Amino acid sequence: MIRALALLLALALPAAAQEVIVAGMSQNRVSITADFDGSEILIYGAVKRDAPPPSGGPLEVIVTVEGPSTPVAVRRKDRVAGIWINNASVHIDSAPSFYAVATTGPLDHILSDIDNLRYGITIERMIRAIGIADEADQAGEFVLALLRVRTNEGRYRVLEGKVELTEDTLFRTDVVLPANLTEGEYKVRLFLLRDKRVIASQERVIGVRKEGLERFIFNLAQQQPLIYGLLSLAMAAFAGWGASAAFRLIRT
Amino acid sequence: MQLYLPIAEVSVNAFLILGIGGIVGFLSGMFGVGGGFLITPLLFFIGVPPAVAVATGANQVVASSVSGVLAQLKRKGVDFAMGTVLLVGGMIGSAIGVWVFALMTRLGQIDLFVQLSYVIFLGLIGGMMFQESLRSLLRARKPGGAPIRRAHVHSWVHGLPFKMKFRASGLYISVIPPALIGVAVGFLSAIMGVGGGFILVPAMIYLLGMPTKVVIGTSLFQIIFVTGFTTVMHAVNSQSVDMMLALLLILGGVIGAQIGTRVGVRLKAEQLRILLSLLVLAVSLRIAVDLLVKPSELYSVAGMLP
């Protein structure tokens, strides 16, 4: 609702009509196959203008890639009776499984707080943690911990200055998707900014799906768990029998 | 070669997994244990989620036990009657274990629960085994000190009702103690992803007084079914069995086991037992250190289904 309103406002601004993004991606689907080891996606584009570029601040570009969001539980270990155990926990309504922000410059120099709030650009804006203050002391620490843990896992990335902008018209950036990828639709958003304000934006989607054998095994495990369990069992029994038979053959 | 595991949803080095399977198979062939107590912690260390490690570990133990029991059948080393009684207990224990596992996962204490089980049980069994084998090694060194072993020791175990004849073991005892041992092993199998041979074997020798020649075969017989049952239960309850991971572990494991068996016959029984007990103690200590030392990251993140 807020975002739709914001978009309406943005469209109403005269500047928005002057500069438009034309974007493309090296691929719009990622297949997780058995040998999947992460993937690099090239996101590129150009700025289309009807008139010469407006005067004012320099043009800046922000590209975000957002994986499917899920609720998460963040737990803190405390020392209880000499051992470290999970003690306090906080339930966060929604956090993206992957999030990358690539920019042409430092975020606090090119993006105003208001537009960050309006469009939800930085990672902090993407984490929905309402009402966690009641769940534990220092609930804010849990959100910071979520950011830290997922950054260390390569799931959250801030790539400041990693968007190359040529002659205020052409831009490109590479976003690396890690090997521990979650399935789903990955939303790619592109923003043009001047004077810390968003003047144009666009959205694209990358579909990430398990394929081939991975797809087959995953579906079977989810949809036919009993058959899957029995099949795993049969495979193990057969392998055990096969091994002892094979080595008996070798010995004789 | 990197391989993406469809259920664990992590990318691992296929040769590393084959190697883990191989080393554990080698040890299990050498010592005559399933090796689940090594596989599961090793999978934790390389980043496989605990739930997947436990469920897939159970699946791997099925393969190594089938391989082992086939060899024992030829030597008439399986007491089917005893195995069946243990099994009935085992199924009940496994079902309880899977239920507790799901409950602990919900409470966010599954890691602690699994780790504590490892520390306590491996520590106890390792310590007992080390003490016992050290004593028998020292006794063997002393000239003329052959230990006197009585065939039957009568204890309170023999006073219980529901007696049954176990022909292959030459025993006439109540079914209650073996059934209870079965329950305990089934429970541990479900929460630790192990076969439970390291508990079953001493329990059968020292508590039930079974002859050593049927102990390993009977233990393997019961382990096949309990770990098999556990695998299916985990697959149905939490979809946490990773077939791809299991296949690699099994492949490495069966090859390692055959090599291990060759090496095992060249070593003395007491030496083998001391080495095994040291290994068990080392795993237990390694996990205990993790619990006692302040972790570098106090917070953990667990995704949940919406």
pLDDT one-digit tens code per residue, B240-295: 899 999 999 988 888 887 787 777 777 777 777 788 888 888 888 988 888 888 87
For residue B79, the distance in angstroms to the closest alpha carbon of chain A comes to 20
How much of chain B exceeds pLDDT 70, in percent? 91
pLDDT in tens, B74-101: 777 788 888 888 889 988 998 898 888 8
C-beta atoms of B299 and A145 within 8 A: yes
Q: What is the pTM of this model?
A: 0.75
Residue B302 has pLDDT above 80, yes or no: no
Q: Which residues of B touch A239 (CB under 8 A)?
A: 63, 66, 247, 250-251, 254
Residue A236 has pLDDT above 70, yes or no: yes
Query: Sorting pLDDT into bands at 50, 70 and 90, what band is A64?
Result: very high
Same domain (yes/no): A219, A206: no
Residue B172 has a pLDDT of 77
- Interface residue B251 vs chain A (CB under 8 A): yes
Q: Which residues of B touch A68 (CB under 8 A)?
A: none
Residue A14 has pLDDT above 70, yes or no: no
State mean pLDDT over B161-175: 74
C-beta atoms of B254 and A243 within 8 A: yes
User: How far does CA A214 lie from the centroid of its chain?
Assistant: 21
pLDDT in tens, B116-140: 888 888 888 888 888 888 887 787 7
C-beta atoms of B254 and A228 within 8 A: no
Distance separating alpha carbons of residues A92 and A143, to the nearest angstrom: 8
C-beta atoms of A236 and B243 within 8 A: no
In a domain, B115, yes or no: yes
Residue B154 has a pLDDT of 57
Nearest to B306 among A34, A71, A241 (CB): A71
State mean pLDDT over A133-142: 76
Residue B15 has a pLDDT of 92
Residue A15 has pLDDT above 50, yes or no: no
Same domain (yes/no): A68, A185: yes
Distance separating alpha carbons of residues B249 and B64, to the nearest angstrom: 10
In a domain, B267, yes or no: yes
- Interface residue A224 vs chain B (CB under 8 A): no
For residue A216, the distance in angstroms to the closest alpha carbon of chain B comes to 9
Comparing CA positions, the residue from B295, B253, B266, B291 lying closest to residue B111 is B291
Average pLDDT over chain B, rounded to whole? 80
State mean pLDDT over A176-185: 85
Residue B304 has a pLDDT of 57
In a domain, B23, yes or no: yes
C-beta atoms of B231 and A73 within 8 A: no
Distance separating alpha carbons of residues B129 and B264, to the nearest angstrom: 18
Query: Sorting pLDDT into bands at 50, 70 and 90, what band is A11?
Result: low
Residue B148 has pLDDT above 60, yes or no: no
E-assigned strand segments in A67-122: 69-80, 83-96, 99-103
DSSP A98: -
Check if the beta carbon of residue B226 is closer than 8 Å to that of residue B90: yes
Q: Which residues of A touch B243 (CB under 8 A)?
A: 217, 221, 228, 231-232, 235
pLDDT in tens, B203-224: 887 778 787 778 878 888 888 8
C-beta atoms of A232 and B9 within 8 A: no
Check if the beta carbon of residue A98 is closer than 8 Å to that of residue A178: yes
Same domain (yes/no): A119, A157: yes
- Interface residue A231 vs chain B (CB under 8 A): yes
Distance separating alpha carbons of residues A201 and A64, to the nearest angstrom: 11
Closest residue of B to A181, CA-based?
Answer: B9
pLDDT in tens, A182-197: 888 999 999 999 888 8
Residue B303 has pLDDT above 70, yes or no: no
Q: Which residues of B touch A84 (CB under 8 A)?
A: 291-295, 298
In a domain, B197, yes or no: yes
Residues B236/B242/B244/B250 CA torsion (nearest 10 deg) = -100
Residue B151 has pLDDT above 70, yes or no: no
Q: Which residues of B touch A78 (CB under 8 A)?
A: 298
Q: How many CB pairs under 8 A join A and B?
A: 192
C-beta atoms of B236 and A229 within 8 A: yes
In a domain, B28, yes or no: yes
CA angle centred on A137, ends A131 and A142, rounded to 5°: 70
In a domain, B147, yes or no: no
Residue A173 has a pLDDT of 93
Nearest to A240 among B67, B111, B297 (CB): B67
For residue B208, the distance in angstroms to the closest alpha carbon of chain A comes to 29
Distance separating alpha carbons of residues A31 and A208, to the nearest angstrom: 6
Q: Which domain holds residue A224?
A: 211-252
Check if the beta carbon of residue B250 is closer than 8 Å to that of residue B60: yes
Distance separating alpha carbons of residues B292 and B282, to the nearest angstrom: 15
Same domain (yes/no): A131, A14: yes
State mean pLDDT over A156-161: 90
* A contact residues 101-140, partner B, Cβ 8 Å cutoff: none
Same domain (yes/no): A222, A131: no
Total domain count, chain B? 1
For residue A221, what are its two tokens?
A: 């495990």
- Interface residue B112 vs chain A (CB under 8 A): yes
Q: Which domain holds residue B118?
A: 2-142+170-292
3-state secondary structure of B175: coil
Nearest to A241 among B70, B109, B234 (CB): B70
Same domain (yes/no): A236, A139: no
Same domain (yes/no): A119, A6: yes
- Interface residue A42 vs chain B (CB under 8 A): no
pLDDT in tens, B50-67: 788 888 988 888 888 888
Nearest to A72 among B2, B62, B303 (CB): B303
Closest residue of A to B48, CA-based?
Answer: A180
Query: Sorting pLDDT into bands at 50, 70 and 90, what band is B296?
Result: confident
pLDDT in tens, A74-116: 888 888 888 888 888 888 888 998 999 999 989 888 999 999 8
* A contact residues 163-182, partner B, Cβ 8 Å cutoff: 179-182
Same domain (yes/no): A145, A225: no
Residue B306 has a pLDDT of 39
DSSP A55: S
Q: Which residues of A touch B65 (CB under 8 A)?
A: 240
State mean pLDDT over B191-195: 78
Question: Pairing relation of β-strands B171-174 and B299-303?
Answer: unpaired
C-beta atoms of B234 and A72 within 8 A: no
Same domain (yes/no): A224, A182: no
Q: Which residues of A touch B35 (CB under 8 A)?
A: none
Q: Which residues of B touch A231 (CB under 8 A)?
A: 243
Residue B145 has a pLDDT of 47
Same domain (yes/no): A234, A145: no
Residue A131 has pLDDT above 80, yes or no: no
Same domain (yes/no): A178, A164: yes
Distance separating alpha carbons of residues B20 and B23, to the nearest angstrom: 5
Residue B32 has a pLDDT of 66
C-beta atoms of B304 and A83 within 8 A: no
Same domain (yes/no): A136, A248: no
Distance separating alpha carbons of residues A73 and A90, to the nearest angstrom: 6
- Interface residue A4 vs chain B (CB under 8 A): no
Total domain count, chain A? 2
Average pLDDT over chain A, rounded to whole? 85
Q: Which residues are registered as beta bridge partners of B75?
A: none
Q: What is the largest CA-CA distance in chain B?
A: 70
pLDDT in tens, A29-41: 888 888 888 889 9
Query: Sorting pLDDT into bands at 50, 70 and 90, what band is A230?
Result: very high
- Interface residue A210 vs chain B (CB under 8 A): yes
Mutate which of B114, B233, B298 to disrupt the A interface (most A C-beta within 10 Å)?
B298
State mean pLDDT over A162-176: 90
